[in-house]
Amino acid sequence: MPPVDRNAPRRAGSSESSWSLMEFLRDFPDDAACLDWLWHTRYALDGEHALCPKCEQERPFRKYVMVNRNTSWTCTACGHHMHPTAGTIFHKSSTSLHLWFDAMYLMVSTRCGISAKQLERELGVTYKTAWRMFHLIRNELMTQDDDDEPLSGDVEMDEMFMGGKPRAADRAAWVKTGNARSAARKWADKTKTPVFGMVQRGGKVSAYVVPSTQGPTLGRHVEARVLPKSTIYTDEAPTYVGIARRGRYDHKRIHHAERVYVEGNVHTNTIEGFWSLVKRGIGGTHHAVSAKFLQGYLNEYVWRYNRRDDERAMFWSLLLRAAATVS
Ligand SMILES: [Zn+2]
């Protein structure tokens, strides 16, 4: 066996990771490498020739590092400047591009996500900057679109409620009213945020913050994402009967109220597994998330779940989205 080269660490063949920190740093050692990547990806495949919007034809470009150390590429025919970050989430950010790429790497390489507080420590940026970076990545790059590949075959769906626990003082007050259960339900309706999710068994998941768990609201999401003639698996909530009929779905229901959780292949364990991943992740990593920002966090968990077998693909698809998303 050849001696190990400690200056060129290699990922162990048996490592679960398909994309290690060393590999990330090798491809993106500094800010210039990140900027070059954007330039190549967005404008100039060969790094030199790009379509000049002013000349309206392909021209050779030259790279210039300006006095303020900003880099731009300049058309050698007309002098027009092009910035590889123009229109992307990185544009006009005073945060180094390398740190942006680093944040994306950290986001996809952790199973449960990392908090803005942790990112602040990892990157040496302010908490406000860390929070803003994550916010933009979640809401601009990880969005779920109705035109993503539709779900089909066996599709489980379920709703859940996110939010904290009632305070002890509130609970005590409810008991005094003599109808603690209805008070607790009212409290939950008012404070908790409903979330609706669908997952194709062995496939992808979608999850959305919804204003209510009424039929028309959920039905719109189902019809936008699930192909007709699919089989849908739900609990006994009456809402789903109408949804199944309208969407011409084969409908299998599990009777949780009778304490039945699995009957042959009739169950909702896959979507419930996803919910527990989200709840554990948000509870353990981010502690509490307000309703206003919940969709962004859901996007992040959905993004990772849907690419769960390949961190390398996860990172690159995020980067390519960043290069393609022009606001
Ligand atoms: Zn030009």
Kindly tell me if the per-residue pLDDT of 260 is higher than 90. Answer: no
Q: Work out the mean pLDDT of the chain and round it to a whole number.
A: 88
| Residue 293 scores a pLDDT above 80 | yes
In Å, how far are 110, 227, 235, 249 from 219, measured between CA atoms?
33, 13, 15, 12
Report the percentage of the chain scoring pLDDT > 90.
57
Measured in Å, residue 72 CA sits from the centre of ligand 1 at 14
Ligand 1 centre from 157 Cα, in Å? 53
Which pLDDT belongs to residue 311?
Answer: 72
How far is the centre of ligand 1, averaged over its atoms, from the C-alpha of 88 (Å)?
22
* Cα separations in angstroms, 128 against 25, 86, 132: 25, 23, 6
How far does residue 34's CA lie from ligand 1's centre (Å)? 24
Contact 71, 22 (CB under 8 A): no
Tell me the average pLDDT across 128-143: 93
User: Residue 29 — pLDDT band, cuts 50, 70, 90?
Assistant: very high
Confidence of residue 53 (pLDDT cuts 50, 70, 90): very high
Whether residue 36 contacts residue 30, with contact meaning beta carbons closer than 8 Å, is answered with: no
Ligand 1 centroid vs 83 CA: distance in angstroms? Answer: 14
| pLDDT in the model for residue 194 | 92
Both tokens of 76, joined, read 């050698």
Ligand 1 center from residue 93 Cα (angstroms): 26
Ligand 1 centroid distance, CA of 55 (Å):
4
Residue 18: band (very low, low, confident or very high) from pLDDT cuts 50, 70, 90 = low
Residue 269 banded pLDDT, cuts 50, 70, 90 = very high
pLDDT tens, residue by residue, 276-291:
999 988 877 776 778 8
How many whole angstroms from 77 Cα to the centroid of ligand 1?
5
Q: What is the pTM of this model?
A: 0.85
What number is the average pLDDT over the span 299-315?
A: 86
pLDDT band (50, 70, 90) for residue 185: confident
pLDDT the model gives residue 291: 82
User: What pLDDT score does 16 carry?
Assistant: 66
Give distance in angstroms: CA of 59 to centre of ligand 1.
6
pLDDT reported for residue 307 = 87
User: Measured in angstroms, how far is the CA atom of residue 39 from the centroid of ligand 1?
Assistant: 16
Q: What is the pLDDT at residue 167?
A: 81
Q: Which residues contact 96 (CB under 8 A, 6 or more apart)?
A: 31
Cα of 82 vs centre of ligand 1, distance in Å, is 10
pLDDT score recorded for residue 17? 67
Rounded to the nearest angstrom, the distance between the alpha carbon of 117 and the centre of ligand 1 is 45
Match 């027009």 to its residue by tokens.
80
69 pLDDT higher than 80 = no
Ligand 1 centroid–CA 63 distance in Å is: 14
Nearest to 110 by CA among 301, 243, 327: 301
Supply the DSSP symbol for 326: -
Instruction: Please give the distance, rounded to the nearest whole angstrom, from the Cα atom of residue 75 to the centre of ligand 1.
Output: 5
Structure-model confidence comparison of residues 293 and 179, the more confident one: 293
How many CA atoms within 13 Å lie on the side-chain side of 222?
A: 32
Query: What's the pLDDT score for residue 172?
Result: 86
Enumerate residues 6+ apart whose C-beta is below 8 A from 292.
Answer: none
Give the pLDDT confidence score for residue 2 in this predicted structure: 64
Check residue 327 and give its pLDDT: 61
The region of weakest confidence among 145-149, 275-279, 292-296 is: 145-149
Ligand 1 centroid distance, CA of 60 (Å): 9
- Poorest-pLDDT segment among 154-158, 252-256, 292-296: 252-256
Mean pLDDT of 231-257: 91
For residue 44, how far is its CA from the centre of ligand 1 (angstroms)?
14
- Find the Cα–Cα–Cα–Cα dihedral 208, 213, 216, 217, rounded to 10°: -20
Residues 327 and 139: their CA atoms lie apart, in Å, by: 12
Residue 292: is its pLDDT beyond 90? no
> How many whole angstroms separate alpha carbon 108 and alpha carbon 35?
21
pLDDT of 314: 83
pLDDT of res. 300: 93
Distance 78 CA to ligand 1 centre (A): 4
Distance from Cα 270 to the centre of ligand 1, integer Å = 54
Residue 189 is predicted with a pLDDT of 75
